[in-house]
């Protein structure tokens, strides 16, 4: 287990983040698997940020493209969905860390200019210029693993000799490349990206062996909230995966994860407070 004192440094928006940080999901999409477009409108998205910050979120992660297959969303439309929200949130919440979920360098540049602090590249680096953008603008970068899948595609009979070894090799190489390009080491996170390029068995194996990622010394982000591997394991639809999500968050926290990307910021904050109390 990793304590606050020996945790590797993580600094975003001028803030040194502590042992556990909550990243709240803000979907600026009409077709999210979770909220079905409830926060697609500009006002709804900003209000969702307000609620997340009030609930204890340290980071808000704004995304303009659904992760899964669906209607094509070009660069211009993604920009339209996210840039104005980033600017509004920067004005309303100067102390919050603003993350944007994108794999595109063009979008990364625009949101960095609007005030974003972190570029969350959930697809594992399909656009090699994104890391250079993070370096140019001084933002942080999330380096994830998606099994070399193209963005917004699902795995088909994907296999790994050792999924955790594959994840560790990819994300650490991406992280070192980012630092070599000029991204601050203390602003780089790694994410195994549960369910991205993985089946349920892979995602469960990553969770069991998450300590191998935290042992690399890079701060680890886990994005497991209401995902399919939880639903398949428990036999539950999206709307009934909350308890499973909290269980996975607790295990991940015990194994040293630092940032937790969630839909329910308040519930995650309580669960992580319990883990912190138990391990104090």
What residues are labeled active site?
227, 261
70 to each of 29, 30, 101, 154, how far by Cα in Å? 11, 11, 17, 11
Specify the residue for token string 């982000």.
221
Residue 273, Cβ neighbours under 10 Å: how many?
12
10 to each of 138, 140, 161, 275, how far by Cα in Å? 14, 10, 32, 20
* Residue 249 C-alpha from the chain's centroid: 13
56 to each of 130, 187, 238, 263, how far by Cα in Å? 29, 21, 23, 12
DSSP lists the bridge partners of residue 221 as: 259
Q: Which of 86, 91, 39, 36 is nearest to 61 (CA)?
A: 86
Give the H or E element holding residue 61.
strand 59-63
The 8-class DSSP code of residue 40 comes to: -
């Amino acid at each position: 287990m990793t304590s606050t004192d020996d945790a590797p440094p993580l600094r975003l928006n001028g803030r040194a983040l502590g042992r556990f940080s909550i990243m709240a999901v803000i979907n600026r999409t009409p077709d999210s698997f979770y909220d079905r477009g409830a926060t697609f409108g500009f006002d709804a998205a900003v209000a969702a940020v307000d609620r997340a910050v009030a609930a204890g979120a340290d980071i808000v992660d704004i995304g303009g493209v659904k992760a899964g297959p669906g209607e094509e969303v070009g660069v211009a439309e993604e920009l339209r969905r996210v840039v104005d929200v980033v600017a509004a949130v920067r004005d309303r919440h100067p102390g919050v860390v603003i993350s944007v979920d994108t794999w595109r360098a063009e979008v990364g540049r625009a949101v960095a200019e609007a005030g974003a602090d972190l570029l969350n590249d959930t697809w594992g680096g399909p656009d090699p210029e994104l890391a250079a953008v993070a370096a140019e603008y001084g933002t942080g970068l999330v380096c994830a693993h998606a099994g070399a899948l193209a963005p917004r595609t699902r795995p088909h009979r994907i296999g790994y000799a050792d999924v955790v070894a594959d994840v560790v090799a990819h994300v650490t190489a991406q992280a070192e490349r980012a630092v070599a390009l000029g991204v601050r080491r203390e602003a780089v996170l790694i994410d195994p990206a549960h369910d991205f390029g993985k089946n349920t068995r892979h995602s469960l194996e990553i969770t069991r062996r998450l300590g191998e990622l935290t042992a690399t010394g890079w701060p680890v982000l886990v994005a497991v909230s209401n995902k399919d591997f939880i639903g398949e394991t428990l036999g539950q639809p999206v709307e009934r995966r909350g308890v499973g999500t909290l269980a996975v968050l607790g295990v991940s926290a015990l194994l040293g994860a630092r940032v937790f990307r969630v839909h329910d910021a308040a519930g995650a904050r309580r669960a992580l407070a319990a883990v912190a109390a138990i391990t104090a």
